[in-house]
A and B are shown apart, each in its own frame.
Chain A
Amino acid sequence: MAPAIETAALTRRFGDFTAVRDVGLRVEPGQFYGFLGPNGAGKSTTIKMLTGLLAPTSGTIRILGEDLTANSPALKQQIGVVPEGMALFGRLTAREYLRFVGRMYGLDRDTAGQRTEELLDFMSLAGEDRKLVTDFSHGMQKKLALAAAVIHGPRVLFLDEPFEGVDAVAAGTLKAMLQRMTARGVTIFLTSHVLEIVERLCTHIGIIHRGELVAQGSIEELRERAHGRAGELNGPRPLEEIFLEIVGTERDGSEAAHPPEELSWLS
């Protein structure tokens, strides 16, 4: 079976700045893939390219075995996205927004309406039907964006910081839903700065740093790699340590130039 997501030498330049360089991702169907990296590493740029919102400067992207550039509209039918800025329409109510998204993905009126009600209930947004999306809290907007991303039953789901601002109860429900989706064969590509969430949900990890994919594999493989570096034998190391080891050792000197001692005025 073809990989759900596969890129080769994926590169994106903005002027003379290279945001993403020669990234080669491989995500198998049904995987819960965590895409990690420090701020400005190129995560969101990569997701934008994978979802067809941003053209790569060079390289190829294959989603579900098909070339994204050649089959963009048909592939968009198969993917769902919670983008970085959520891209909601603030002047709609949640119900209006979900129905609109459902119709845009080709659901018939009844199905779109039925799924809208189900999703509003599931996301605990059903009581907010008079409010415009612009009046929603950040967490409610996140939940709505996630509902919109799954309303058409996508086969590949891209989530850019989906749990940011979402309360613990809702986050638990959403995580369970996402895990059920992967169990049924949906591929999920997730970015998050909360490494505990990534560690708990994801089976595979990719780490991008300064635009380059510096590590990729299952969590166990990354642990083995880190284990080899550190030479430790004391049980499995948390993902945070592995991440800091991979990224931290390759940081430039800019942070070192501003050690915490300089902020001496902080009490």
Chain B
Amino acid sequence: MAELMQPGLMQPGLMPAAGVQLAAVAWLRWRMFVNGLRTGKSGTRSAGGIVLAVVLRMLLWPIFAVWILGPVALSGYVGWSAIANHQPTWLLALMTGIGFLWQFIGVSGSNIAAAMPTFDPASLLRFPLPFGRYLLLRLFLGLLTPSTVVGCLALLSAAVGVGVARPELLPVAVAGFGLYALANVFCARMIGIWLDRVLARRRGREIFGGLLAIVVVSFQFVQFGRVRHVHMPRGHVPGSEQQSWIIATALRSAHAMHWLPPGFAADSVLHSASLAAVAGNLVLLAAWAALFLAGFGVRLHRQFLGEYLSDSLAPAARRSTAARRAPVRPVPQQQAMRSRFPLLPALLRKEWLTLRSNSGQLMGLLTPPIFVWIVSRGSFGSHPDYLLSGAVAYAILGPMSAAYNVFGPEGPGVQLYLLAPLRLRDVVLAKNIASGMILMAEAALAWVIAVSASKTAIAPATQVATALWLIFVLLANLTVGTMRSIQSPRKFAPGQSNQMRSAPTGRTSALLAVALVLGSLLLQVPVIRIGRHLHEPWLGVWVFGALAAAGAAGYVMLLMHVDAMMLRNRDVLERELCGV
């Protein structure tokens, strides 16, 4: 320890080398990733947990593959086709589409980095980092988001497509699209950091949540295939003039795009005959990238200097403190203890207060029924056998994930349940009632919408079978969800800005919810087919009735053992919800 007693061993004013600090942060991320694979105190994940996680990922890998490989393959094809078929607007449209989706998914979508064990990069501010180094770190940390990965791969694929069509264009395409990728990365970072500023305040989060819901819902109304009726001269053969109105609008505004990054990226390839034009486009594209970087840097510098994001929160906190000071009518001790079942209503009231104070979550509950309404008006409306259960499954799929991490939003508050003289079964039951009521409300809305939108009447047997299927799905999910909530809890603060874009459950739990809902939904297909073959329309009722009974039995068994289960896993709950 003697050496530690020497003050200022580092020379005053001598900054640590950039390479040392950057390597240290890279090593930190690696160790956090490796240690994130550990779940128990022993440092190993249980064999069952590993198998479950691997099987679920294998089952759902095709879905992810479509999300990644689809855009990448399409971009390559469009890039090739634009050059081979002399369709310059296609390349512009491709660049615009990639850029739009990159930013939109970045703002609204899931985030791989958020689902991993991570840390707040702002915590690095306590170390002696110059601003430039901090900027570099903030650019690299969390770079592996789905939007960045898919966007970069799509642009690479587009460049390869262009190169296949005309090999001499490959270097220009790589340079132009590479710069465009950089501009998108900087733009996403700029939007993200300014958004964090807005989302640091509760009012901002509410407005943003509402706007996002409106944008997502509005997007469903955009019908790309809808033909725009154009008055053509008599005898004119319908052809390319009859375009989708959205494409026509995009083409009309294409000239504006030439001054934006997608235009410069496309033009750097399309005007490759002139070296000056290529250089000009690349320089202007680099200027856009620099502008985005500056937009990011300006806000980051404010944070670097110690900006407090939610400056307006303190007065609100004071008001609530003042409100709590209102005089309370004293209640005698005996009278206070007289109520025999105060727990369930109290817990339900707490769940309601939590939901009520999170308007973003409330708005999220409105979105699925609107989607159901839109989808029901389409071709699905002609398939009454599948419409109802499909609509209900879709409506409950999103809110279902919350049932897989019911203790997550409590954080360290979960200790109260373990400390108070209460049956943990009551706590679980109250939470499941709250989750079940939300899911039932969503299902009921979807049900009404589907029945009213169906082009033919939905048979009573189908409706009864769907109701029984719904009971099974709810009970099965609440059973599995409760087990996951206890065995794999995950701290989740729905009202905090840096968590707003992350999922309320871990990926394995989310995959389980999807597998249970969609798996049981797919079970309806053979049941309906066999029922038709046997001329037995009520077959579904028997099958799903049996499943609902099994689900109920499983749920009752869970409730009987849930106290012991929670006590067995209290160290997990403590570590995951109350730890650092």
Contacts and interface: CB of A to CB of B under 8 A. Distances in A.
B15 A53 contact: no
A76 B127 contact: yes
Contacts of B6: 153, 184
B4 interface: yes
B359 interface: no
Interface string B112-155: 00000101000111111111000000000000000000000000
A77 B10 contact: yes
B425 to A, nearest CB: 28
Contacts of B575: 134-135
A100 B330 contact: no
B224 interface: no
Contacts of B43: 130
A40 to B, nearest CB: 10
Contacts of A11: none
B441 interface: no
Contacts of A110: none
Nearest to B328: A262
B38 A132 contact: yes
A186 interface: yes
Interface in B534-576: 575
Size band of the interface chain B makes with A: 35 or more
Contacts of A17: 314-315, 318
B256 interface: no
Interface string A162-205: 00000000000000010011001110000000000000000000
A103 B19 CA distance: 10
Interface in B275-333: 305-308, 311-315, 318, 325, 330-333
Interface string A28-49: 0000000000000000000011
Contact of B10 (A19, A81, A100, A106): A106
B356 to A, nearest CB: 24
Nearest to B33: A91
B128 A19 contact: no
Nearest to B334: A265
Interface in A88-118: 88-93, 96, 100-101, 103-107, 115, 118
A87 interface: yes
Contacts, number: 172
Interface residues of A, number: 70
B230 interface: no
Given A73-B15, A86-B580, A91-B36, A100 B306 contact: no
B24 A100 contact: yes
B237 interface: no
A13 B313 CA distance: 11
Interface in B309-365: 311-315, 318, 325, 330-333, 336
Q: Tell which of B6, B131, B306 has the most Cβ of chain A within 10 Å.
A: B306
A67 to B, nearest CB: 13
B15 A74 contact: yes
B100 interface: no
Contacts of B128: 73-77, 104-106
Contacts of B127: 76, 101, 104-105
Interface string B10-53: 10111111001101110110011001101001010000000000
Contact of A104 (B4, B16, B31): B16
A19 B313 CA distance: 12
Nearest to B40: A135
Given A48-B306, A73-B129, A135-B575, A78 B8 contact: yes
A89 B10 contact: no
B580 A141 contact: yes
Contacts of A52: 125-126, 306
A134 B580 contact: yes
B308 A153 contact: no
B579 interface: yes
Contacts of A262: 330
B9 interface: yes
B580 A88 contact: yes
Interface string B34-78: 011010010100000000000000000000000000000000000
A14 B126 contact: no
B7 interface: yes
Given A105-B16, A135-B41, A254-B325, A153 B306 contact: no
Contacts of B8: 78, 153-155
A52 B129 CA distance: 12
A74 B15 CA distance: 6
A106 B18 CA distance: 9
A92 B306 contact: no
B40 to A, nearest CB: 10
B4 A153 contact: yes
Contacts of A206: none
B14 A106 contact: yes
Nearest to A121: B1
A49 B10 CA distance: 23
B7 A14 contact: no
Interface of A: 13-17, 19, 48-49, 51-55, 64, 69, 72-78, 81, 83, 86-93, 96, 100-101, 103-107, 115, 118-119, 122, 130-136, 141, 150-155, 177, 180-181, 184-186, 254, 257-258, 262, 264-265
Q: In the A-B complex, list the 8 residue pairs whose CB atoms are closest, starting with the nearest.
A: A106-B16, A55-B306, A90-B580, A103-B24, A14-B314, A134-B579, A153-B9, A77-B128
15 contacts: A17-B314, A48-B306, A53-B125, A74-B128, A76-B127, A76-B128, A90-B580, A104-B25, A104-B124, A104-B129, A105-B127, A118-B1, A186-B7, A257-B325, A265-B331
Given A115-B4, A118-B3, A153-B4, 20 more contacts: A15-B314, A16-B315, A17-B314, A52-B126, A54-B308, A55-B306, A76-B126, A78-B12, A83-B126, A91-B35, A96-B35, A103-B16, A106-B20, A106-B128, A118-B1, A130-B43, A131-B41, A151-B4, A254-B325, A262-B330
